[in-house]
Amino acid sequence: ALLEALEQCDAFLAVIGARWHGPLPDGASRIDSPEDWVRREVEAALAIPRMRVIPVLVNGAPMPTAEGLPGSLARLSARHAARIEPDPDFHVGMDRLLRSLGAPSVPIPAADGPGRTIDAGGVPLELVWVPPGDFQMGAEGPTASAVEGPMRQVVIGQGFWLSRYPITVAQYRAFLDATGSFVPSPIADRDRDTRPVTDITFQDAMNYATWLHTPQGEMGALPTEAEWEWAARGSDGRRFPWGNDTPHGARAVWAAVSEGQPAAVGGRPEGRGPFGAEDQAGNVWEFCLDAWGGRQLEDAHDPVRRDDEAERHVVRGGAWGDAASDLRATLRLGSRGGDDVGFRITLRPKA
């Protein structure tokens, strides 16, 4: 009956918990017994030549070694395992597992999710949590520009906090006041407090980011462009942060709906991304940590082209004066700054 049932399957998931092959009270391991049903099921799956057997590691379980398994299960240690972590990373692991099985991705729900507010020089700064994960970065084809490639699988190795919105005039002025810096008249204008700060350079953005810290030792930084795109697209390859549907005024600010200048941040929750960040499409382009260098790096793990002295740096997201198609999450340009360029920050434990 067991073999008949397995013959109907395309894949077998061997769920391995922290105590899956650990000792019983008498010192033996349950999988040492040829009569153990878990052992018999895995043995049967491994005996079917066409069967994909995937170890699924849960609750922090390590991958068993061949030496630690009975001989009939030793081949399991050579299989590529999927790791499932608890929230807030559960959806990332499950989506990766589904994609490895050839199933459609399950969009990570666009929810307020894990969030927090910190004090940034006397002004509140809202953050959303972006978990680690992997995704298809970049775009190629007739609707993509040459610099949006190469398209490849990229791993974001560590989760991070990301400001829910671009940094505002009020937040940036608090930084200038706290550091005793000159406050230009546009930033002193309190009527602009809720708009994204613009007309700043990459170094200005870096200075704000590195000034930001918390009592817990977390340090601010600009997001790499890989982190920025992961936060905007998640793992399902969406064209815009909210999905693939056409932009409209409840989602984003671009040329067709703007008033010829940046709008106040927020107020467009329909445009939020898979992890809860808002305004990643339109309103202002956003500086990333990467120096501009044409086509993207081909590195697969936490890629970044770091050169703080470069003439131009990568900006993402599109802005208030752009066409709707320029709001796509894969579009990238090199910029020195301007009246349509701002930034947002990441926050993570001090290395």
**Token representation of residue 75:** 């081949």
Contact in structure between 301 and 279 (CB atoms under 8 Å): no
What pLDDT, on a 0 to 100 scale, did the predictor assign at position 211? 96
What pLDDT, on a 0 to 100 scale, did the predictor assign at position 105? 43
Which residues in the chain come in under a pLDDT of 50?
A: 104-112
Contact in structure between 162 and 127 (CB atoms under 8 Å): yes
Contact in structure between 53 and 81 (CB atoms under 8 Å): no
- Give per-residue pLDDT as tens, 64-86: 888 878 888 888 877 777 888 77
Pairing of strands 52-58, 82-84: parallel
Identity of the residue numbered 166: P
Pairing of strands 313-316, 218-221: unpaired
Radius of gyration of the chain (CA): 24
HEC profile of 157-220: CCCEEEECCCCEHHHHHHHHHHCCCCCCHHHHCHHHCCCECCCCCHHHHHHHHHHCECCCCEEE
Q: Which residues make Cβ contacts (< 8 Å) with residue 312, sequence separation at least 6?
A: 291, 292, 334, 335, 336
What pLDDT, on a 0 to 100 scale, did the predictor assign at position 63? 81
Contact in structure between 323 and 247 (CB atoms under 8 Å): no
